Structures are given as C-alpha cells and as structure tokens.
Structure 1
C-alpha cells in the first residue's frame, strides 16, 4: 500500500471519503463467512458444562477473524452484549459476560491486576441486586485489592499495610533490602485504600499469612459467591497476540489464577504461534524446547478451536458481501435487499458441501436486475476471489481483503477530482499485481512512458500468450501460475493507457508519467545507475550532462528497479542516491524520501557509512538513531560518524 493510501486509511477508517464508504477494520458480529455456526457450537459448549469449568482457545493468524468470532460467541450467550459486560438469564443459569482486552492496559496497568479488577467489578455489580450478598462481594473486592497490592509491591507492600510479615518478607525487611520500588508501594497502598478497610478483615492480624493460602481463599470465596448468585462467569480474553510478550504472559498467569473454578468459562483468542514465541521470550536462557512452549498454552486450554480459513466459496461470498455492504451504506442498495442477500449467502455457504457453489449466477441473483454497477462488481468478486484465495500474500485473509478493497476504492475516489476516468475493475487488477508480485508490477511500470501513450506491448503479448496453456510467457512473467491467471483476469490491460492507473497508485518517489518523463539521456543514466556498484568519473559526467530534472527521475527509476534485490545492508545499494545528490543538491529531498523507507530492523553499519557525509540524509540518520528497532551496531555507527 503506498503512503497516501496508508495514511488516509489509518486516520479515518470509519469515514466516508467524498461519498465513498470505506470498510472499517474493527471486529464485528455481522457474519459474512459462516462463522456463526462455529460461534453457536462454542456457546453450546459453555451452556452444556453443567457448572463445570471450561477453557476454550480460539486460535488463528493475524486478521483471520478471531475477534469477530469472539464477539459472535458473546452475542450467542448475551444478545445485548456490549463493549464491556452484561448479564443474560436462561432457564439453567445466568451468564455474566466480561470482555477483557489486555492490549488496552499495556503500559498503563499490570494485566494481572486489571483482569482481577474487571472480574471483581462485574461480580460486585451483579451482587448489588441481592442485598444479602453485597457484603460478601465487597469482601471479595478487598481480597482482590490485597492480591493487586501483593502483585504491585510484592510481599513488602502487604506487610506495610497489615503490619504482619507475609511469608519470608520479614527477613527481607530486616536485611534492609531495597528491591521494591517505594513509589510503587505507595501507589499500591493508595489503591487499596480506595475501598475502606481493604486490608482489614482479610488477614487475621494475630497470625502470619502466606500468599499461597490467600490466593486459595480468594478462589474459594469467588466460587462460593458464583454459587450463591446463581451465575456463570464467562470471560472473553481478546487481542492477546497484540501484546508484548511480557503482557501476554502476565495475562495468562492471571487467567491461571481464575481458571478451573466452578461456574466459570474462559474463551481466549490468540495466535498460538505468537503465544509459543512469547513463552520462549519469557523463559529465555533456560533452554526451553518447542514441546514445552506448546504445552504451556495447551495446559490452559481444554478445548482448542481454530478459526477456519476461508475457502474459495467463502472468499467469493465475503468479497461480494463487502461490495454490497458498501452499496448499502452509501444508499445505493435498500436495507431489505441487503438483508436478504446476507441470508441467502449464509444459507448457500451451509450447503456448499453438497456441491452448491457460490458462482456468478448466484452472486448476480443477490442484486437488483438492471443495476449495472453492482452486477459488474459481482463479476469482479467472482474473478478476483480465486486469486485472493491462492495468492501467498493474501491467502483469503479477511483483513487483507478489506485493506485491498479499501485501497482500490480510495484510488477510485481520488481519480474524480483529478479528472481521471478509470474503471474500478482495472484498478483492482493492477493493485492485485502490486500486492502479490511487486517485482513484476515494478518491472511493468518502468516500461510505461509518454512515448508509448502508456501502453505496454510486452503486457499485451503476454495476455495473448496466456490464453494458450501450452505457450511460454516471456519475462518478467515467466511460468508463475499466479501471473498466468492474473494475465487472463478481465479487463485486459495490454491495450490500455496505464498512466492514469499508475498515477493513482504512485508514491512520492517514482512514476511521474508525463511530459517530464525520461528522455534518452535520462534513460541512459537510469541504466548506468542500476548497474553501478562504485563511484567513477564516467558516471559523474553522465549525471552532469543529464541535468537536475532528468537525473532526479533517473535516480528514482533506478532505485525502484533495484527494489527486489535491496537488502539495506551494503553501501552500494544507495550509490545512485549519493552520486546524484552530490552533483545535484535539488535531488536531496527525493533521496531522503527514498531511503526513509528502510525497514530499520534490517539496517547494517555499511549503509550508514555511505550516508554519513550526506547533508540530505542527516534527518533520516537521526530518526534511525532514536528508533527502538534499529540495531545497536547501526546506532553506534551513526554516533561514530558524527564524531568524525
């Protein structure tokens, strides 16, 4: 995704841009991919426990739909489920549904204490309805405050509040240990004092108290309160795989404290691959093997549930429903028709195992006859879906599909004020190539020029050759199955002026197609810069003769041409920037924009040495030096270069 698109989508994901609705990236209970069946089964597992504890793990990769599935499960238990908590009565039980997102607390509060407090608040609110149980609920909150305090300030804090040595802490205090942060202890005391007598009534001041016994007492008190209130606590833990490893492990440890209590259920959404990585970080240096890392999560989870990946039919249906949702939100499709379409899709997806496919005829039946725009989009969904399903860079990931379509429609929106008339289907086809095979897209873009009126004969020949399965397709396409399918995708682009499409997909560096495009001297310089590995007098002379405008364009073109082989490790990779800017300082801002794209984690000191003497790169080096992801060797190289 190019920079203008990314900025606009991050800043206003839920806005309409000049009348064109975009798709937000939030979790939803609206089911476009037949997840509702899985959600119903998960909710049924919770109902059928008969009060026995249960833990369910919902796993899957980034963007696959874990959060949406969690919300659907919650809605099955509580139709009025909101963002926080709610209660719903059934014949057998009353469910107190709590949604906990540790990512929101990261950096502000310890995830363990936040989870305990969230559960305590939910139970206390429910107990307010029964005056006979309010005192018990308040006593439970006191216990939670004690445990929060013990976590925040350790046993030192518990000793300071109660006056009773907890465990071995008396010995530590006597030894004058300063292991605990005094300010944290003070904050913990203040937090506990928010509930009058928080530390009183928990401990018998005549007896020393051990923290393990207090934890067990807390569990027993919570279990008893659930029983007396007649409730089942259902805790949904979401976005665990967005957290730093420390927060993720802290949350899992808190879950362990509450886990396997009668009348309790946990539904934990996380990428199991991420959790294994977090466990390895947590136990770094202990020689932890993969089996142990896997078992850590498995011991918390009784019922593992993996979010199903979209199949070809689901991908097609999902893409089509996104088009219909956009039309509905912009007023082009009646609510009744949109609702009927969702119902039809849900029914069809339940029957695909019988051979009933989501084909073009079915998709066209979802929209009013005569609506040419929507019929065209149904055709686009039917053609795009197989490639969105098979492409390794998308793999039918719902979030990536949304982002793909957001980019396409944003470009369509940006075309109007620039008096560019371009079909959304052509934009979609080109962006699919950008997304799935950037090297080929760049190679084709380099061949577009004003001289050929934006048409690429090589692309036209390849589209023709692709029609024959036996024919070989010349480079840059080769024999890649994806590219052959892409070439056959309608509309064909070989006879189309691609300058408008590339203009809409341009970034700040390349593809300035028009009258100021490369002339013969600029093209020669571009080729020389692509092949150059060291500075030489002949190259410098070419740069002078080309002039500042052509040199700037040639610099950008050569930079783009070497994108696929760039490692961000070697000085020679920025040679074209350094050499052009040394002679034409006007190219500096463009060069800075190019090099600022670097993935800082991949940088090597060799690149710094090449840029250290460049005035235009000074600000970029400063940003790298302050970036947490920049390797320490690179930071040292920047500091050393400045001293010299």
Structure 2
C-alpha cells in the first residue's frame, strides 16, 4: 500500500519544476513575489511544495527561512491573518538558525505586529457579530460603527446586540460613538494600518538577518470558499514586504469558484459568468502563475514502476533505485524508466517479484493514463485498491488468481464513462456462470480487425454490443490478458463493493466537478444561463473531468429521480453537444424506475427520440411500463 500524502521524495520527476521555482525565488530582482503553483486535484502540487521546502531547509540555504503553512489545517482559526502570522513567528522562535539574542529581538518586535493583528481580528469579529447588526437596527440614518470602536466595545464587555443598543442609548454611548467617528477620520488622514504592519514586519525580518523569507501555502483547495479567500487576504497583508516570496499551491478553478462565491455574496457579481473581478483578483495576488503538466504515458509507467519498487524493496535497496531514476531523468526526460532500465540496480533476491508485479503494466499504461488522466493521486488510489483486492484474493484462497486480469477489469471499472459496461459485463458473467460469450465475441472482432475504425464498425453491427464500440474500449479489448474463456466470477467477487452501487467512488470525482454541478443545480436558473455555464465551463474541461462531470450528473440523477432539474441539466448538455452526454443519460435512465420519472420529462424525451441510445431506452424501458411519464410522452 502507498500513503496518500504529499512527500519530498520525487517519484514523478517533478524536481525539475521545483528547481525552476527555486531559481525564480533566488533571483533577488523579482522579490517580493507571489507564485501560484496551479494544478488539478491530485496532480502533485503538494509534492513540489515539499521538495521546495526540503531544498531551502538545507545547510547551503541557511540565509533563507522557509515556512510551510497548511491553510486547511488552520481552518479552525477565527482569523487567517492571525494564523499565518502565528505560523511565521513560531517558526522564527523555534528556528535553530537564529541565536538566542536575535530570537529575543524577534519576540520584542513581534509584539507590535501582534497588536496590529489583534486589532484587525478583534475589529472584524466585533463588527461582524455584534456591532454592525445592532447599529444598523438602531441608526436608521445609515451611520455605522467603525473598526476603531472595537476596543471600546471590548471594554464595555458587551455580548449581544440588545446590550449594545442599550449602551448606545446612554449619554456615555452617544459620546463614545461621536468620538470614534471623529477618531476614524483623523486616523485615516494620518496613517494606513496595513502599511504600518508591512513596515513593522519588514523591520522584524531585517532583525533576523535572513536574506529572504519563503512562505509556502498549501491545501487551499481543501478549504471552504470563505476560508480560501480569508487565506488569500492574509497573503495580501504581507504583499510588498521586501525579501519575501509566497508560493501558493491550489487548483485555480477552486479558487475562482471561491472568489465568485465571496463577491456574489457581496453583490459585486450578478452574473456567474462575470470573470473580470475573478481575473483581476488573481492577477493582482499572483504575479507568477505556474501550471503543472499532466503525466504522459512514459511518466505514468515510470511512476507506477517506482511505486511498486518502493513497496517491494527494503528502504536501502529502494534508495539505490531512486538515485538511478534521478540520474536517468537528468540525461533522458522522455523515455520510460521502467523495469528494463532499472533491473541491474535491483538485487537478484527481489528482481523476480518486481518483474511479476510489473509484467502487465506497460500494456495497460496508455489506458490507465486516459482513464485517470495522468493524475498521480488517482493512480496511487487505483493501485491501492488493486493491492487490497490482491490481498483479499490471498486471504480468500482464490486459486489461479491473475493480477493482470484484475487490473484490466479495474481499468474498465474506474473509467467514468464505462462504469455501465463494467456492470453489463458483470451481468453477462452472472448469467453464464462466469464465462460470458459476449466478451469472446468482442475480442474475436477486434482480433480479426486490426484497424480500430473497422473494429468499431463491426461491433456496431451487433445491437447488444454497440455500447462497446468506442475507441478506448476497442483498445482495452486488445490489451493482454485476453478474457475469452476465463471464469470472471472470482474477479467480480473481489469487486462486489462496486457492483452493489451505481456510485463509482466519490474520491475519484474532482472537487471542481462537484462545485460546477452545484452551481448549475438550481431550479430557478434559466436555460440560457445554464447553457452559458456549459459552454464556458463544462466544454473546456479536460476529457477526464468532463467524463467525471457526466458521471457525477448521472449519480445525482439516479439519487434524485423525481427531481426535474437533474434531467434538465442532461437535456441542456445534449443540446450543447457535450460529448458522451447522450449515452451517459440513457444509461442513467436505465437505473431509474419509470414511475419515478416526472411527467414533464416524458414530454421532454420527445425531443430526443431521434438519438439512438435514448430511442432504445424509450422503446425498451419507458414504453413497457405504465407510468405518468409514459402517458406524457404519448400525449400528442
């Protein structure tokens, strides 16, 4: 098994990305700077950030302080600015690079910073939770309390709007309010609190004698939308402080969703497609955006090979393999660093076991890459599930078990668009005692027709096999091992956790997909706005994400079969020519009782009876059961 955590151990060849970013940070002419390390969920952002941290922690970089801040871990803090400053000051206080004398100086200078942070935090909390609602209710002329009222309010020990209003009604309260209004005007004319904070922080860094401060902020995309913005606002507080570099790792689409969410709440975004505010916000905060590429086929095969070596080899032996890989990548960035390349670095005692584990990998890699979109986290989770099932096969004493067969079936299982084919194969083998004739028929067609297009055409001639004619499935059918005449019962028994459900593992659905569906899932949203979102956000998704979106939409439809909006989203995707929308919709309808389908959907299906897969559903399922949807469909 492999831990699903970030690591500074580079198994992806991503050190080249880390080295590039380190090179930028070490260029004093670009400081201060904020760098965005952007990538999809599970793409390896955190590992790159960990590599950067480990490099700056080395002795040769003793003039640089590097701090790792996990925004998600600090989500419980009431104020993101306080959490970030606390992390920085704690690292300074605990840092072995500083003398005790310097640490004492840091503590003294930190008091002023804490005073500023406490003021900002206290003002924000009091104004948000007590002052603004209370004063808005009491003063109808539009006058409201100002942040500098926070200190006075805390002195009054007020804990409710009622008490605040009562206090303001007193002579003392009226006098304080007037004084505070005047104090705010005077202070605004004299100084800027943020500028003061930055100057004080600059003074503190100078006292440490560090040449630069590098702050790494990770896991933003795990936070709630409000917390994401709070963390970004905390970063803005430190912007323009000399000798600083902030490196922020996030999925930019999650961040954009959070910005939309925050500004829409404030009424600054009316249309969800208003991208100017979102773009401006990110461009002002992130000076250098760096987008991580997806893994290629050769990189996926290399990654899987290294993961298996790491699992099978003692730590010292694997260290040799990792050193070989690092050297290999320095001279060749394109080829596979697999078993053939590294076998001489593997001691003979472990060589056969690793070869046995890797034997089926090369043939499956192109399909695994397509299915999991070259995503390191998804590849690791796929392999962890494969390992668990291997162990279950051993515990259950399954004889003649072939890991390659299980891996091939799992590729079909984990493909968002082919999950229904996996279930269909399951049904076939159940009816035929484990050995389905249909898979033999499919493999025979593919074998006799080496040209994929010809194979696709021949498969489409057989009605019950039409769903198996996509280019990806044709490639899957070609890959060894061949499944003809193999009893698949035990392999499906190992996968029974998936057979029991139509939901193919929520962990494989990217967060951006869930957020996008949530944005569209409103009964009051017009067709025009929905189509605009589909055009601007769904159609530009990667193939994996688009298929994930379709699968998630299918899940929601199956879970909520009486909800009209779930059907409407599919209809509008079909109208917008979203690839695979028709077949995903038809497959989802297969799982739904006709009695649960709203009558309005029966009417809507008339528009799509010219699409073969939907026509087949209407003829074979909808029209065979008496239901209100059928009556609506039949109504002229």
Bin for the TM-score computed over the shorter chain: 0.5 to 0.7
Deviation per residue, 1:567-587 (Å, 9 max, x gap): 4443599xxxxxxxxxxxxxx
2:389 pairs, out of 393, 411, 429, with 411
What secondary structure, in the 3-state scheme, does the structure 1 residue paired with 2:425 have? helix
Q: Distance in 2 between matches of 1:439 and 1:33?
A: 32
CA contact (8 A) 1:569 1:606 kept: no
The answer to whether residue 361 in structure 2 is matched with residue 381 in structure 1 is yes
Q: How many residues align?
A: 463
Deviation per residue, 1:291-311 (Å, 9 max, x gap): 331221121111111122111
1:224 pairs, out of 195, 203, 210, with 203
Q: Distance in 2 between matches of 1:497 and 1:339?
A: 40
Corresponding residue for 1:76? 55
Corresponding residue for 2:111? 138
Corresponding residue for 1:337? 317
CA contact (8 A) 1:117 1:144 kept: no
Summarize the Cα distance change of 1:497–1:292 in structure 2 as closer, same or farther, 3 Å threshold.
Answer: same
Summarize the Cα distance change of 1:607–1:507 in structure 2 as closer, same or farther, 3 Å threshold.
Answer: farther
Alignment of 1:174-253 (within 5 A): 182-183=158-159, 209-210=187-188, 213-231=192-210, 232-253=212-233
TM-score (norm 1): 0.64
CA contact (8 A) 1:120 1:140 kept: no
Corresponding residue for 1:293? 278
Kindly state the Cα deviation for residue 448 of structure 1 after the two structures are TM-superposed: 1.2
1:479 pairs, out of 463, 469, 477, with 469
TM-score (norm 2): 0.65
The answer to whether residue 561 in structure 2 is matched with residue 570 in structure 1 is yes
Corresponding residue for 1:506? 496
The answer to whether residue 60 in structure 2 is matched with residue 100 in structure 1 is no
Corresponding residue for 2:614? none
What secondary structure, in the 3-state scheme, does the structure 2 residue paired with 1:149 have? helix
Which has more helix, going by share of residues?
Answer: 2
CA contact (8 A) 2:301 2:336 kept: no
Corresponding residue for 1:65? 44
Q: Distance in 1 between matches of 2:468 and 2:128?
A: 67
Deviation per residue, 1:301-342 (Å, 9 max, x gap): 1111112211111111001111111112xxxxx444322222
Summarize the Cα distance change of 1:364–1:147 in structure 2 as closer, same or farther, 3 Å threshold.
Answer: same
CA contact (8 A) 1:415 1:504 kept: yes
Corresponding residue for 1:432? 411
1:448 pairs, out of 429, 435, 448, with 429
Q: Distance in 2 between matches of 1:350 and 1:125?
A: 36
CA contact (8 A) 2:43 2:294 kept: yes
Q: Distance in 2 between matches of 1:142 and 1:157?
A: 21
Summarize the Cα distance change of 1:499–1:260 in structure 2 as closer, same or farther, 3 Å threshold.
Answer: same
Q: Distance in 2 between matches of 1:139 and 1:497?
A: 73
Kindly state the Cα deviation for residue 66 of structure 1 after the two structures are TM-superposed: 0.7
Kindly state the Cα deviation for residue 134 of structure 1 after the two structures are TM-superposed: 4.3
Q: Distance in 1 between matches of 2:146 and 2:376?
A: 56
Kindly state the Cα deviation for residue 75 of structure 1 after the two structures are TM-superposed: 0.9
Deviation per residue, 1:215-250 (Å, 9 max, x gap): 221111111221232122211111111111110111
Deviation per residue, 1:158-182 (Å, 9 max, x gap): 9xxxxxxxx97479979x999x994
Summarize the Cα distance change of 1:380–1:364 in structure 2 as closer, same or farther, 3 Å threshold.
Answer: farther
Summarize the Cα distance change of 1:414–1:37 in structure 2 as closer, same or farther, 3 Å threshold.
Answer: same
Kindly state the Cα deviation for residue 55 of structure 1 after the two structures are TM-superposed: 1.0
User: Could you list the runs of 5+ residues in structure 2 that have no partner in the other structure?
Assistant: 132-142, 162-182, 502-553, 565-587, 600-636
Q: Distance in 2 between matches of 1:361 and 1:426?
A: 22
User: Could you list the runs of 5+ residues in structure 1 that have no partner in the other structure?
Assistant: 1-21, 80-87, 159-166, 186-204, 329-333, 512-562, 574-597, 610-644
Q: Distance in 2 between matches of 1:452 and 1:66?
A: 47
Corresponding residue for 1:118? 87
What secondary structure, in the 3-state scheme, does the structure 1 residue paired with 2:68 have? strand
Summarize the Cα distance change of 1:184–1:382 in structure 2 as closer, same or farther, 3 Å threshold.
Answer: farther
1:270 pairs, out of 229, 250, 262, with 250
Of the structure 1 ranges 27-36 and 488-497, higher mean CA displacement relative to structure 2 is found in: 488-497
Summarize the Cα distance change of 1:360–1:112 in structure 2 as closer, same or farther, 3 Å threshold.
Answer: same
Kindly state the Cα deviation for residue 380 of structure 1 after the two structures are TM-superposed: 2.2
Deviation per residue, 1:14-61 (Å, 9 max, x gap): xxxxxxxx1111000110111111111211211222583111110000
What secondary structure, in the 3-state scheme, does the structure 1 residue paired with 2:245 have? strand
